[in-house]
Amino acid sequence: MLRALAAHPLAFWVASCLGLALQVATLLVVRASGPVTLKLLALVRNAAVVLAEVLRGSAAGSPAQLAGYSISLLAFAKYTQLRSRQAGDRGPKAKAA
User: For position 80, what pLDDT does the model report?
Assistant: 81
Q: Give the dihedral sign, CA 65/44/71/74.
A: negative
Cα dist. 33→9, 10, 20, 50, 60 in Å? 36, 34, 20, 25, 34
Q: What is the pLDDT of residue 16?
A: 94
User: Tell me, what's the pLDDT at 97?
Assistant: 47
**Environment class of residue 78 by beta-carbon count within 10 Å: exposed (0-12), middle (13-18) or buried (19+)?**
exposed
* 3-class DSSP state of 61: coil
Least confident of 5-19, 34-48, 68-82: 34-48
The pLDDT score that the predictor gives to residue 38 is: 78
The residue among 35 and 67 whose pLDDT is bigger is: 67
pTM of the model: 0.49
Q: pLDDT by residue (tens digit) across 25-61?
A: 888 888 887 777 777 778 878 888 888 888 888 888 8
Domain boundaries of the chain, sorted by first residue: 1-33, 34-97
Say if residue 74's pLDDT is above 50.
yes
How many whole angstroms from its chain centre is CA 83?
16
In whole numbers, what is the pLDDT of the chain averaged over residues?
Answer: 82
Spatial distance between the Cα atoms of 59 and 20, rounded to a whole number of angstroms: 31
